[in-house]
Amino acid sequence: MKRSLVTGGAGFIGSHLCERLLARGHEVLCVDNYFTGRRATIHHLMGNPFFEVMRHDVTFPLYVEVDEIYNLACPASPVHYQVDPVQTTKTSVHGAINILGLAKRTGARVFQASTSEVYGDPAETPQTEAYWGNVNPIGPRACYDEGKRCAETLFFDYHRQHRVSIKVARLFNTYGPRMHPDDGRVVSNFVLAALRGEPLVLYGDGAQTRAFCYVDDLLDGIDRFMAAPDAFVGPVNLGNPAEISIRGLAETVLRLTGSRSTIVTRPAQADDPRRRCPDITLAREALGWAPSVALDEGLTRTIAYFDRLLTAGPAAAVC
């Protein structure tokens, strides 16, 4: 039986990943400090004898015996990662050092959840893995962007220097059921506002773009990447290349919910990237992967989730 460690396993993506690994017959150790994660997302797994949860902060060393590691621990929403920016950088950098030290000692293959934010406010679109990025190193997003960039550096240096088996993926905006209602990211904000009949707030004019990947598609990509030959270490973009403006997203959410909420604007956020869209040629060619859930379909499932959450409360957090 394979022993998998998932850091950040009580978070949005991590909880789906723990569930998948258990379904595949793995023994899963979920490590989380509950900074943005919740017990509600993993509550349904607690009775499984092959599932174990450890409250632990990855900035501290971790000595466990595992066969593979998924390093997802890090707040992902700008609202949350900017609350304690020093801790955000520590989580990415000290967290990577500890997790790589663990991988080096145990010989475990290690997946790193890197991010499209390493491209910053990109001067090229769509972004290929060859693009080095355009990040403001001292801005309010830098704790996350530069933390993740440094983590990539550490992953590649542990790979070259210590022969650690690494898999570095750059995830683009991902959404779906189990996003925290107070997550603060655009999909959950818009869906909840629409369902509550409150205004959808655009930061800036809404012309900035993102490309949204449904969580199941992302997990398929992670699976394929982890199963790929050792030599394919990445970085590889995992995202849905269907680019949409944030205003377009707001209009789509209103259409799908049938909500009569209005759309209002607020000042733009500092250093907010204007364009973001993955070039997924590498993932297509090396992994045979491409997303299959269209935005309307994924949003419909996400809307149904938040609708249940509003009606039934936290008990509906697992779906």
Q: Give catalytic residues, as residue numbers.
A: 144
Contact (CB, 8 A) for 197 and 259: yes
Q: Which helix (H) or strand (E) holds 162?
A: helix 142-162
Beta strand ranges found along the chain (DSSP E): 3-7, 27-32, 51-55, 68-71, 109-115, 166-171, 174-175, 200-203, 209-211, 213-214, 236-238, 243-245, 263-266
C-alpha to C-alpha distances, 99 to 27, 31, 155, 156, 234, nearest whole angstrom: 18, 11, 10, 13, 18
State which residue, 23 or 63, has the beta carbon closest to ligand UDP: 63
Task: Pick the piece of the chain touching ligand NAD (CB under 6 A) from 10-18, 242-250, 274-282, 301-309.
Answer: 10-18
Contact (CB, 8 A) for 98 and 59: yes
Residues forming a β-bridge with 28: 4, 51
90 near ligand UDP, judged by CB under 6 A:
no
Residue 4's binding partner, choosing from ligand UDP, ligand NAD, none, with beta-carbon cut-off 5 to 8 A by kind? none
State which residue, 174 or 287, has the beta carbon closest to ligand UDP: 174
8 near ligand NAD, judged by CB under 6 A:
yes
174 near ligand UDP, judged by CB under 6 A:
no
186 near ligand UDP, judged by CB under 6 A:
yes
97 near ligand UDP, judged by CB under 6 A:
yes
State which residue, 113 or 261, has the beta carbon closest to ligand NAD: 113
29 near ligand NAD, judged by CB under 6 A:
no
Candidate list 10, 18, 66, 280; residue touching ligand NAD; CB under 6 A: 10
State which residue, 131 or 203, has the beta carbon closest to ligand UDP: 203
Which phi and psi angles does 129 have, rounded to 5°?
A: -65, -20
CA-wise closest residue to 202 among 258, 142, 262: 262
Task: Pick the piece of the chain touching ligand UDP (CB under 6 A) from 25-33, 96-104, 236-244, 307-315.
Answer: 96-104
Spell 156-170 as b/e; 16+ CB within 10 A means b. bebbeeeebbbbbbb
Residues forming a β-bridge with 109: 68
32 near ligand NAD, judged by CB under 6 A:
yes
105 near ligand UDP, judged by CB under 6 A:
yes
Candidate list 6, 18, 27, 33; residue touching ligand NAD; CB under 6 A: 33
Residues from 187 through 216 that contact ligand UDP (CB under 6 A): 189, 201-203, 208, 210
Residue 113's binding partner, choosing from ligand NAD, ligand UDP, none, with beta-carbon cut-off 5 to 8 A by kind? ligand NAD
Spell 266-282 as b/e; 16+ CB within 10 A means b. eeeeebebebbbbbbeb
Q: How far is CA 34 from the centre of its chain?
A: 15
171 near ligand NAD, judged by CB under 6 A:
yes
Which residue type sits at 148?
K
98 near ligand NAD, judged by CB under 6 A:
no
What SS3 class is residue 106? helix
Contact (CB, 8 A) for 234 and 168: yes
* Nearest-approach distance from CB 141 to ligand UDP, in angstroms: 8
* Nearest-approach distance from CB 267 to ligand UDP, in angstroms: 10
Interface residues with ligand UDP (CB under 6 A)?
61-63, 77-78, 97-98, 101-102, 104-105, 173, 185-186, 189, 201-203, 208, 210, 246, 269, 272
Interface residues with ligand NAD (CB under 6 A)?
7-8, 10-14, 32-37, 57-59, 72-76, 91, 95, 113, 115, 171, 173-174
